[in-house]
Structure formats: structure tokens, C-alpha cells
Structure 1
Amino acid sequence: MSEYVHYQQVSEVPGLVLSTARFAEFSFDRHFHLDFHVGLVSEGVQRQGSHGKSVLLGPGTIALMPPGEIHDGAAQDGGEYTLKTFRLSQELVAGVAGEISGRSHVPELSSAVLDDRLLAGSLVRLHDTMRDSGGAGGLDVQTQWLTLLESLLLQSRAVVPERVPGALAPAQWGRVRDYCYSRLAEKITLEELAALCGLGRFQFLKQFKLTIGMTPHAWLLRLRLEHACELLLQGSQAIATVAQAVGFYDQSHFNRAFRQAYGVAPSRFRA
């Protein structure tokens, strides 16, 4: 396989750049970055040197590299490896850390290698989703992005999370519910829902789950599918029209979600 490197800016998240690379003969000389790097080796093994020590990075490990940290990298024993990175500006990290902790401050980031196969796998899948979809505008991707970034910052002990006071108030939940019911065909963002409650995104995510027992995305997805069932049973609209009416602009995505929820394809549901 030939070597390549691809960079992609995520427009919905200012300060975030994704990179995907395949390396064999190429090696990184000693260098540093001005942004915060989250590195994931999805295939093969990379040997990384920092602070006079050498570590091996492979599937299941997460490399956290703060701004200014001097390091290098190369394939281990002449092999090939695939490297995926999230490159986060210092402003982006500071903003997210402030939301998590509830106070404005610049977190003290340090280099670390986390051995967490579950978290690493989730980050690789999120990286692929952002790359393939060209952004992070959907409620599902927004939720995954913030939740996983919170996990990284907490594991690196860069922030102390703000205490969540409890569930949403009935009036807050009512505003969220009515907003979603009235806009099923539209794109709904995490920022919009949090603003309805006068909350930050992290606090809203936690309070919503305490209230409902599901994430906002999971609840909204089910709401859309339940409404789709009603439209399908009426039998007067094409499946593609039903999918668009409940916020699915990709019919294949609608079919997969429907089958996963009800065990049959939409065409079989109303047969």
C-alpha cells in the first residue's frame, strides 16, 4: 500500500482538524505542535519517542500530545501503520474544558498513553464518521464528540467536572419535547436544545439523561421512528417521503434505523 496523508477541517467545530495517514518508510523527525493531538493507530504499530523514552502505539491505545511536547515517530520493525489524529486548537480545548468544569481556565495538559481499547475504538469510529460525513453537525455526532472528549480530558486529569444538580425541571423538559415534536423534519442541534433550557451542552446532556434515561439523540431518533410508523400505517405516502418527513434525508439510513428498531424494513411494516 502506498503512503498517504489527508487533512480535513471540521467546519462545525472551529479549531478541529482530522488527519488520516498510512506510513511505512516515512518517519517523523523530532518535532512539536502548537495544538493538542489525540493520536490513534488503527492498524500496525508506531514507535514514538518522547522524554528519552520509547513507547509502542497500536490498536487500543490513545496517545495524548500537548502543545510544545517534543516527540518523534516511525513504523515499528519496518512495518506499516495507519494513524488517525484529532488536532484540537488550544482555544477549542480551553472552551470545552470550561464547559465541563463550569469555570473559565486553561487546562494543564500533559502527554500520556492511555490503554483503553473501548475508548480507542469509539474514537476511531467517531473519526471515520466525521471524515466520511464531512462534519459534526448531527445531534448524534455532536453528542459522541463531546462525550468522548470529556472522557479524554477526565482521564488525563486536565479538568474536574462540574457537579450536575439533577434532572431537568418540568418546564425545561416541556420546551425540549415541544421543540422536537414541532421540528421533526428539520436538523436539530445540541446547542439548540441546551439553549432552550438555559444550560451548557455538557450539563444539558447529563440532566437530559437523568430525566429521560436516554441520550437526546436516542430519544429523538425513537420519536422520529414512532412518527414514521404512524405515517406508514396511513399508507398514503411513499417511504422516501415518510423518511424526509421525520428528518431522514438518506433513505438507506432510515431503512437501517427502522429495521434495527422494529426488526423489519419499512416496506414490510405496512404490508
Structure 2
Amino acid sequence: MSALESIQVFQCLNSSPHARLEQSALLGDGLIAAQWNNHHDIREYHSPTHHTLSCYIADGTGTFRRDQPDQKGAPGKLCVLPAGHESAWVINGEIRLAHLYVSPEQFAQGCVTLLDREPRELQLRENTFLDDARQTERFRHLINLNWHEPGERLLTSSLAHEMLSHALLSQVGLRDGLRLKGGLAPHARRRLVAFIEANLSEALSLGQLAGLCALSEYHFARMFRESFGLPPHRYVLARRLERARQLLRETLQPLGDIALECGFASASHFTNRFRQHMGATPGDYRGVFTATPPAG
């Protein structure tokens, strides 16, 4: 199954005879962007596994949720559709909109690294026709980029991360009545995060991380996933790639040095992993942020 085939909101719109996909792009890190227009349609979303951030780019004044018929859309309005939500939409007239689809894994990583909370404690608050000028401006910037030109595709990825971070900081709340069982204690989680961040250049092992929590590898791996929303190796890789992106943006270090500092065995291994997750090479990514990227 391709990444887009797993996005239920995308597939629901794509199956409509009235909706037309203008462009879409896999931005890496579990983030996917799409731009649509639609007219005279009815669409229903049933418990998608991903989160959707939506912005009305043009028209939409005849669009409403079936359970909220007195509230209508408009250009610049935002909608936040969490994973697991249910909604039915009536589109009268025309609408042009942009979507950012967020994987549960990327949401989980943001909860841990940005909010220092367990992902299962938190949820995106469902919101319809929200006003948020900064987030709307990010969406408008996004759709004005060429998603299929490598340099600009990297800018779309950076914008998407900004949009997700903004949503996490402004649209996330605690789950009601939740009683957590089976995860790591908060002090153990913080100790792990600090240790991983301080040792990204090292060859970390599951046993080494489990030892910090005085747990067997088996129980540690299960409890880590409960607390972090993804397995240890994927969390560590995500943090290494984030550190690499920071160094590429902010320093002129050769790629080989960055690879070693971020825990990759060689520049070629680093380049392959980076391309898999970002859709471009480290050199291309650096070129977006520096006028004359160094060799290396």
C-alpha cells in the first residue's frame, strides 16, 4: 500500500466525481500535502488513522458540516480533523482548499520532543472554521511553492513542520478521563530523551537504553512504544535526522562530519537515509538555506 492509499481523507476526496486533486507531495517524516478543488458535493470521514490540518484557500462560503449547518466556511478558515474523528460535509458552490496529513508517528514524536508529554495523554482538539492568521499564511506560502522542484519541496517540508508544531502548541489538549498503564514513568522518559540527545553520535543499543530504566530489552521496547508512540530505533533515527537538518541549515560542516556527529556510519549511509525521509539529498537540502553550499 502506498503512503497516499493509507490516507482516508485523501482517498475519500479522490473518489468523488466532483473533487479534483490539483497537486500532492510526500514531504517526508510522515507529512503529506495535497491541494484540492471541489463543488456541489457531500463527503464523510469515518475515523481516519491520520490527522488532517485543512485551510480554505478560496470560496467555501457554502460549505458546512451536516451537524453544524449554521456555521459556514470562508477563505482563510482552518479546520483541525484529528485521527479517529467523524464528520460529514456539504459543499454548496465552489471550494479550493489545502490539506496537510500528519501520521500518528509524527504526532507522537512532536508530543514527546516539543511538549514533553506521552502521546497517548494528548489529542488534537477537533475544530471547524478556526481563525489563525499565522497558520493560514503558512498554508498560503505552501501552495505558492513548486512542490515538484527539489529545492522548494524541501521548503514545503520545513513549512509543514512549522504547521505541525504550531498545531501541537495551540490545538493539543489532554484526553478526558484517561488512566495510563504500562508506559515509562515521566522521570525515566526524560532521562532517556536527555541521554539520546547527548549521544546521537554513538552506536546506541536497545540493551543500553533498557539499562537506563532497569528493564529487560523486551519490556523496555514495549513500554517505550507505549510512552513515545513509536519503537526505540525509529525514535532515535528521527532525532538523528532532525539534528542533521539543523546542522545543514546552521553550519558549514562537511557532510561526512555531520554524518558522524549524527550517528551514521558514513556519508553514503547518511545520504541514503536522508533521501528516504526527505525526498532529496543533504546537499540539496543545504542548498535551500545557503547561497553557496560547501563541497563535501
TM range (shorter): 0.5 to 0.7
The one-character-per-residue Cα deviations of 1:179-208 (angstroms, maximum 9, x if unpaired) are: 83344xx7x9xx979959xxxxxxxxxxxx
| One-letter amino acid matched to 1:37 | T
| Alignment partners' CA distance in 2, 1:28 and 1:16 | 22
Q: What's the RMSD between the two structures over aligned residues?
A: 4.1
Shift, 1:109, TM fit: 2.0
**Is 1:151 aligned to residue 166 of structure 2?**
yes
| Alignment partners' CA distance in 2, 1:193 and 1:144 | 27
Shift, 1:93, TM fit: 1.0
| Alignment partners' CA distance in 2, 1:40 and 1:93 | 19
Distance of aligned partners of 1:192 and 1:96 in 2 relative to their CA distance in 1, 3 Å threshold: farther
Q: How many percent identity over aligned positions? A: 13
Q: Number of matched residues?
A: 180
| Alignment partners' CA distance in 1, 2:160 and 2:260 | 16
| Alignment partners' CA distance in 2, 1:60 and 1:89 | 24
Shift, 1:118, TM fit: 3.1
Unaligned runs of 5+ in 2: 1-17, 175-189, 191-245, 264-284
**Is 1:81 aligned to residue 152 of structure 2?**
no
Q: Which residue of 2 aligns with 1:171?
A: none
Shift, 1:88, TM fit: 1.3
Q: Which residue of 2 aligns with 1:27?
A: 42
* SS of aligned partner of 2:72: strand
Q: Which residue of 2 aligns with 1:205?
A: none
The one-character-per-residue Cα deviations of 1:71-91 (angstroms, maximum 9, x if unpaired) are: 122323xx2111211111222
Q: Which residue of 2 aligns with 1:202?
A: none
* Residue among 180, 196, 200 paired with 2:251: 180
**Larger-Rg structure:** 1
Q: Which residue of 2 aligns with 1:235?
A: none
Q: Which residue of 1 aligns with 2:31?
A: 16
| Alignment partners' CA distance in 1, 2:34 and 2:73 | 17
Q: Which residue of 1 aligns with 2:293?
A: 247
- Is the contact made by 2:26 and 2:32 (CA closer than 8 Å) also made in structure 1? yes
**Is 1:48 aligned to residue 119 of structure 2?**
no
**Is 1:116 aligned to residue 132 of structure 2?**
yes
The one-character-per-residue Cα deviations of 1:40-76 (angstroms, maximum 9, x if unpaired) are: 11011152316x3233222221100112221122323
Normalising by structure 1, report the TM-score: 0.53
**Is 1:4 aligned to residue 20 of structure 2?**
yes
- Is the contact made by 1:12 and 1:137 (CA closer than 8 Å) also made in structure 2? no
Q: Which residue of 1 aligns with 2:142?
A: 126
